[in-house]
Structure 1
């Protein structure tokens, strides 16, 4: 008994000719269906290339569009021709033009001769299917699909919606349980003959003509009525990505394909010359006599899917960049944001850099420029200090900064005077540590020693911006680690709060602070706030500052570091 191959082809006919010649030269009859969309001249050249092979024949051509009945009709036509003209065929193997044999034909023949009654076809009920991506499950058998999903999308969608509206349901033919599976199968002659000669086949054909993607359900369902021994798996290796699109194998997948122990693989890139040269051989030295085991490479494909869909945390790639929430972490590592600290303390950036050992920047989102650490104009990854460039995409700026400085803690200042476009992003980032002293912006206004309506208006503007920022930080959608103090509360015990921040920023160096930053001179600050109130502006975010208070409280605990004024 021999193996007969049905080949469904529509492109890369030169490669199809190579594969067909390989199988035919090994004594396997071939029946080829070539899509009617292939130009006549190209089709004739294709048939001429195989004219010297007596066991290669061509069947009636159908115009096959994805997901439509003509694919099944063409397969039936080819199967009937195969059984009629080749009575010695024991199994019929359905393959595509992009399929490539991975093991010698004699090995496949021996494998099937040892299992003469076994049908290899993936066939599972709808309830057990997990691979459908964005399509229909049970509805593919309950609704009618007379329109093409690809070329008649509007009519397709409207007709489906209309059927759902009127709760239309089709009646499944008696004794038939719909099953799904891969289009590529290998059936015994007895089972395939029983399917094609079934007295009820006309009713089955009418039913499946209006099923969604019938090539994945026609033989998969009917084989359950006639087969005595079904192996619900395909002998063809085919892998699909997370969107349900088939993986394409290239030359660098050579060793991967060999490890699978499968007999046939699809889809092979037409220009994978190395693959075709390596596998189109019946060399006995490569015979394995092993059971096909595609699960041996499933782990690699799972990793590939994870890398494509999730990527590396904080790295934005082309495959995910246009899609929100596909970034697998907004940034790649933890960073610290300080609001108001550079107003409360003198040279706070210098002190913090010495204390935590990280890179401490100024206001990265200042309106004039990006204030990188050390006054650099260009930073890691060729990030420019141009505010105009940064504001084109502030999210990309921040994520690039964190990605380009992996392994080094980044800290920067943020104030209400800065661009606020990044606020929501930082608040939703679990890697962000945000510490804010509210109302600290008033210290800079106080240091100008100007009491006028200009200062009052600026104070009102900054307070409004900061209030909105605080609303974002207090939102239930905030995922950052947030600490908020009013200025009055902070200066009550500044060292305790600084110690808490430093412990989290540098968890490995759990030690008490032995050096403190110098606090800004706040003598008269309480009176300044009262003046703003008297002018009609209430700086409530600064907290309750007594009039005439300098705003500092000396720490009486000798065990704690003192605050240098």
Structure 2
């Protein structure tokens, strides 16, 4: 009998009974502390499960609340009872009612027998502790915390603020260096008795009674005064999330727990029947002389924390709307945006689909409807082409479109006539490839049969919208791959930019274009722009278009060919 177990119990008493019997059956005495918040009737019923068992004792009950002194007082009472009643015990192992042995208890006993003078307690100085959550590290030892963080949060915060304002600072007992660590330790009788019988214990207790979360610092600090050999680690597997809350182990964690090679794990879900059956009732495997190694599963927990905190790139849902600028990728996959191409080229969407192998949509943010490829009314993920539904949350429409079509690159047309709600989202998205022929929006106006005064007014409006969009694309915060050509320079040599765009999409291996889209007839467009100037509207986004005989359309013999052999 070299190992005694102190169990802190407050809930799931049926499981605590099962675990306690497992410890006793393996030759380990158990002292149980039951939270004073548990009713007397429930406590009496629980106690009757161990009647006549001389290896199970019940300590004085204390009210235990997270972050308060009661947890330390309960541990002290149970430890004193253990040392007084079981003189053969050399190591005292602190556990909870939700802890469960993962390996045969005989392995734990043999492991501790081989290390009779070693204390296993996580104990690190404040400067070396990276896991404190809540903004209080050194202050938990220099301020007073008489109020419950859970039940009296308002008073807790106000009192902390008051102490900071008056620059209050408690005096740490002489010779004591505050340390922190997991509350689940395994101490030798020599170290534990020295802590409990210290002549200055009253002073230490009075000090730690007003420390925040003293169960993670009381024994961790005092052990440093008396232990001759500390291994600063816990033999209990306990994992915490990014908020400092313990991970709960369920039935589907069975293989994960086995891989850890730890002796004990917490926190086990009370209804994890498969785990309790596998570790408590089934024959244990042959003894393995291996070190507990929770690092073997650390990668899985790190991945879980990453998934919980930053999620998957481009995935949004009702339970996961991330703060702006904190998302893990704006969208989930690369996509291409084309502005001005459908206006300049006839049947551009069909040509691009054939040349790139991608799904090519029309104007997804057109005023009337979302122009899905092939005239579809509903797309993957039940995305409707209804403009009202789309504009209710246009950013979600775009991110859902990219998410729901993962594995297939999406291309769509854009322009100043469309909803501009996604300008910044696309500009700051590294997945976006945005190609703009500035000023091409004027071609539909050029070919329209509208009153010229209305054309001039509409041209001024569209130019202002496109100018604002170009400013966004050129901003230092833009992360998209952006290419901008004026209409004049694009018309002069269209094959090179088209080749660049197709190569960037990268669906197929880079190859020279053998076919170009048919350009719309530009005869008279230069004169049209001059007419706009004459009416007082300056169309500067198109570049320098010649007027009259120098119109690029009139120079058909000298214009560069579209077909490349």
Q: TM-score range by the shorter chain?
A: over 0.9
Counterpart Cα distance in 1 of 2:192 and 2:512: 81
Q: What's the CA shift string for 1:455-503, capped at 9, x where partnerless?
A: 2222222222222212211111110011112222322222222222222
Deviation at 1:68, TM superposition (A): 1.3
The Cα of 1:215 is off from its aligned counterpart by: 0.8
Determine helix, strand or coil for the equivalent of 1:255: helix
Cα drift, residue 135 of structure 1: 3.3
| Counterpart secondary structure, 1:92 | strand
Deviations, residues 337-389 of structure 1 (Å, cap 9, x unaligned): 00111111111111111211211110011121111111111222332212222
Distance 2:284 2:390 in 1: 63
- Matches of residues 102-121 of structure 1 in structure 2 within 5 Å? 102-121=102-121
Matches within 5 A, 1:92-491: 92-281=92-281, 283=283, 285-316=285-316, 320-491=320-491
Find the aligned partners of 2:238 and 2:56 in 1 and give their Cα distance.
25
**Aligned-residue CA RMSD (Å):** 2.2
- Output the TM-score relative to the length of structure 2: 0.94
> SS at the partner of 2:457?
helix
SS at match of 2:531: helix
Q: Contact between 1:513 and 1:561, CA under 8 Å: does it hold in 2?
A: no
1:517 maps onto 2:521 in alignment? no
Q: Which moved more, 1:16-25 or 1:472-481?
A: 16-25
Other structure's SS at 2:7 match: strand
Structure 1 17/165 Cα, relative in aligned 2: closer, same or farther at 3 Å?
Answer: same
Could you say if the C-alpha distance between residues 282 and 451 of structure 1 is closer, same or farther in structure 2, counting changes exceeding 3 Å?
closer
What's the CA shift string for 1:69-99, capped at 9, x where partnerless? 1111111121122222222221111101110
Moved more, 295-304 or 478-487: 295-304
Task: Report the Cα offset of residue 318 of structure 1.
Answer: 6.5
Task: Please give the alpha-carbon distance, in whole angstroms, between the structure 2 residues aligned to 1:53 and 1:392.
Answer: 68
Counterpart in the other structure of 2:542: 542
Q: Given that residues 359 and 408 in structure 1 are in contact (C-alpha distance below 8 angstroms), is that contact kept between their aligned partners in structure 2?
A: yes
Gaps of 5+ in 2: none
Corresponding pairs, count:
562
> Partners of 2:329 and 2:522 in 1: how far apart?
41
Question: Do the aligned partners of 1:105 and 1:282 also contact (CA within 8 Å) in 2?
Answer: no
Q: Residues 181 and 538 of structure 1: is their aligned pair in 2 closer, same or farther, counting only changes over 3 Å?
A: same
The 1:42–1:360 alpha-carbon spacing in structure 2 relative to 1, beyond 3 Å, is: same
CA separation of 1:283 and 1:503: change in aligned 2, threshold 3 A: closer
C-alpha contact 1:140 1:211 (8 A) present in aligned 2: yes
Q: 1:185 to 1:554 in 2, by over 3 A?
A: farther
Deviates more, 1:527-536 or 1:342-351: 527-536
Give the SS at the match of 1:307.
Answer: helix
Cα distance between partner residues in 2 of 1:283 and 1:346: 75
Contact 2:362 2:373 in 1 (8 A): yes
Give me the whole-angstrom Cα distance separating, in 1, the residues matched to 2:557 and 2:382.
Answer: 45
Instruction: Provide the secondary structure at the position in 2 that maps to 1:289.
Output: coil
Distance 1:539 1:186, change over 3 A: same
Secondary structure of the equivalent of 2:489? helix
- Secondary structure of 2:492's counterpart equals coil
Aligned to 1:62: 62
Rounded Cα–Cα distance in structure 2 between residues aligned with 1:332 and 1:282: 45
Residue ranges of structure 1 left out of the alignment (5+ in a row): none
Does the 8 Å CA contact 2:357/2:507 hold for their aligned counterparts?
no
The superposition leaves residues 147-182 of structure 1 with CA deviations (integer Å, 9 ceiling, x where unpaired) of 222222222222222333333332221111111110
Contact 1:320 1:326 in 2 (8 A): no
Distance, in Å, in 2 between the alignment partners of 1:299 and 1:437 is 47
Distance in 2, matches of 1:555 and 1:112, equals 94
Tell me, in whole angstroms, the C-alpha distance in 1 between the residues paired with 2:490 and 2:208: 74
Q: Distance in 2 between matches of 1:438 and 1:540?
A: 9
Q: Distance between the aligned counterparts of 1:104 and 1:518, measured in 2? A: 78
How far 1:207 sits from its partner (Å)?
Answer: 1.8
Deviations 1:45-67 (A, max 9, x none): 22222334232222222222211
1:195 is displaced (CA, Å) by: 0.4
Paired residues of 2:492 and 2:559 also in contact (CA < 8 A): no
Structure-1 separation of matches of 2:318 and 2:192: 46
C-alpha spacing 1:63/1:556, structure 2 compared with 1 (3 Å): farther
Aligned pair in 2 of structure 1 residues 534, 52: CA closer, same or farther (>3 Å)? farther
Give the deviation of 1:555 after TM superposition. Answer: 8.6
Structure 2 residue aligned with 1:29: 29
Report if aligned partners of 1:554, 1:562 keep a CA contact under 8 Å in 2. Answer: no
Alpha-carbon distance in 2 for matches of 1:76, 1:349: 77
Q: Bigger shift: 174-183 or 112-121?
A: 112-121
Kept in 2: contact 1:104–1:281 (CA 8 A):
no
Secondary structure of the residue aligned to 1:542 is coil
Change (3 A) 1:7 1:324: farther
Contact map agreement 2:126 2:137 (CA 8 A) in 1 = yes
3-state secondary structure, aligned to 1:403 = helix
Q: C-alpha displacement at 1:101, in angstroms?
A: 1.0
Instruction: Give, in whole Å, the separation in 1 of the partners of 2:137 and 2:47.
Output: 39
Return the TM-score normalized by structure 1.
0.94
Q: Report if the CA contact (8 A) 1:359-1:411 is conserved.
A: yes
